[in-house]
Amino acid sequence: MGLDVTMVDGVPEFADAPAGRFRGVRQGAKAGVFAGIRFAAPPVGRWRFRPPRPVPDAVRLVDATCFRAAPAQSLPAFASGGGKSGEPAAAIGAALGRAEASEDCLYLNVWTPDVRGRRPVIVWVYGGGFETGSASPPLTDGGALSRLTGAVVVAANYRLGALGFGYWAGVGGPDWAESSNLGLQDQAAALAWVRRNIAAFGGDPGNVTVAGESAGAFLIGALLGAPQGLFDKAILQSGGAGRIFSAETGDVLARALLDAVGVATVEELQAVEVDRILSAQREVIDLDVGRRNLPGGRSWGVVLDGTVVPRHPLEAVGDGSTAEIPLLVGANRDEVRSYRATGGNGFVASDLESLLAEFTRAGVATPSALYQAYRERVGDDADMAVLRESFLTDAVYRRPVSDLAAAQRAAGGRVWASLFSAEPFGPQMGAFHGADLLYVFDHLAALGFDSEANRRVRDELTGAWARFVRDGDPGWDQWDAGARPNARLFGGDGFLVSEPPDDEILRLWPLQRG
């Protein structure tokens, strides 16, 4: 199952690694591709809901010329307002297709300019709300990222939804204590594989940058709180280290899922057809972008379980656990614009009280004052949907990025920040959530906006990434809460911008520092 890369004209490419000898494909002057490499045993049958298990080193030549299936996932994906055509997550689902999804998914792909080199390594962690995504094209075109940065690019699948982020210690007892945050454990296993094997593919095992967007960035944020040694630098786009659910919330979701499926134990759930789990897992969570992501929300994601994630990652960063790991963090100016555009009436706050309640959930002490501050920022004539969009863009994406920068800086670590403001589909959609990926993976021509201005944004953004993964410095001053402007602007007018904006909102709603 998967896309055979030899269908395009190419010649064999070989890599001799500790894990085995692999045959990939080189397509003309493009990067060599090694697709569908198994990095952990299939998590199926009695191994469903269990940590990733190692696979023995191969004794025969391994064919690595076929992209494997995406992780099992429910389609359409989550949405504010519920699965409407045209929303970002639904587009992800349409691109994947159900036939290309499987529980047997723990494979990774490698794109390399030259197996004989020793280049920086980017390990890409895809987003998708912890419920959708894939490490393979068309969603993850590592060849484009490799070409634009000169790095060896690796992308690994990780388990999603209840299969990847169910918390089973409460309903299952001590035997299931290590069976949480399985998607996070999958990424850790893939990173360990990279450390051991990437030199054979032309990568430098001592210069590995983990990079991700949205759920991928939040996963990296969680990795920052775990024992280190898996990577040397990190790039986080539209995500930080604060999206962590309590064990209590995880237990509520686990019990709700058992009830929705109609079983009583985790062992029984292991034997259920996967489609029943995929269907039920969306019944027990919040679908609205605000309700699922603000404190007290219910969604699949990283759980503070005390075992795999021993402490809150933002606290760990604030205590200096990542001080030696340079961070490049960023967000998009209009993250929640696409959710407002597709959510319709379901996105609009029902009344002022419900909007103020969301402010309180986000940790704001004076919600009425914050409401007036947002009125000043977006304009007195803005409706409730626009106000909620601006607030949730901050609460879910931009502020977590700045909180991580503040915690890293306070601990003496190095951190650079950026704000993406290019508008590929014009001002109505703005710099929406995921818009930056259209540039990072060079989808400009395919989507019909291959203009000189957009190519310049692409080259500036990927050029900054290239410098960061190579040297640990993207090319501007480090982020500092007290120095303004303090973040690189990609798209729009100017080189630097203040992030977060230095206005009344910041004074009413201070940054966290771990």
User: Considering 433, 443, 460, 499, which one is annotated as catalytic?
Assistant: 433
Residues 6+ apart with CB under 8 A from 3: 35, 66, 67, 136, 137
Residues 6+ apart with CB under 8 A from 190: 39, 40, 108, 123, 154, 156, 158
- Is 389 assigned a catalytic role? no
Structure tokens given for 82: 């519920």
Residue type present at position 236: L
- Nearest Cα neighbor of 288 from 278, 277, 275, 298 is 298
CB atoms within 10 A of CB 169: 22
Give residue for tokens 């002057």: 29
H/E stretch holding 67 = strand 66-67
Residues 6+ apart with CB under 8 A from 356: 367, 368, 371
Structure tokens given for 391: 């607030």
Q: Are 238 and 335 in contact (CB under 8 A)?
A: yes
Q: Are 109 and 154 in contact (CB under 8 A)?
A: yes
User: Considering 103, 335, 358, 423, which one is annotated as catalytic?
Assistant: 335
Give residue for tokens 């691109």: 95
How far apart CA 334 and CA 423 sit, in angstroms, is: 9
- Is 283 assigned a catalytic role? no
User: Considering 214, 321, 390, 418, which one is annotated as catalytic?
Assistant: 214
SS (HEC) of 21-76 = EEEEEECCCCCEEEEEEECCCCCCHHHCCCCCCCCCCCCCCEECEEECCEECCCCC
How far apart CA 260 and CA 282 sit, in angstroms, is: 10
The reply to whether omega before 485 is within 30° of 0 (cis) is: yes
- Is 80 assigned a catalytic role? no
> Residue 171 to residues 251, 255, 257: CA-CA distances in angstroms?
7, 7, 11
Task: Determine the length of the chain.
Answer: 514
Q: Are 116 and 200 in contact (CB under 8 A)?
A: no
Residues taking part in catalysis: 214, 335, 433
